Amino acid sequence: DDLVCFRDIKPGAPHHYLVVPVEHMGNCKTLKAEHIPVVKKMMEVGKAVLQRNNFSDLNDIRMGFHWPPFCSISHLHLHVLAPASQLGFLSRLVYRINSYWFIT
């Protein structure tokens, strides 16, 4: 009831979903310790959606947030990508683990 999930319109992997809180939250820079349960739930939903879409290797996924100013909208959204091993060259850059622009 408090989260929605949908496919990314410009997928970076065969499975690319966005998990978004229904209630407005700013970008990942505005997160505080009190938001940890929400972020954990977002990750659980992302994994569940992958499994419902017949992707079971949860060791081959990438989840994270684009760090401002590299996010396209100012509403918190978690990128869920799988299989991470099949990210193309550009996607490996855009969704690079703990880079200046993408945090996991």
Q: Which two tokens stand for residue 86?
A: 């099949």
**Cα 92 → chain centroid:** 14
16 is catalytic: no
Distances (CA, A) of 13 to 1, 2, 30, 65, 94: 27, 26, 27, 15, 11
Catalytic residue selected from 15, 66, 77, 79? 77
Q: Which sequence positions are flagged as catalytic?
A: 77
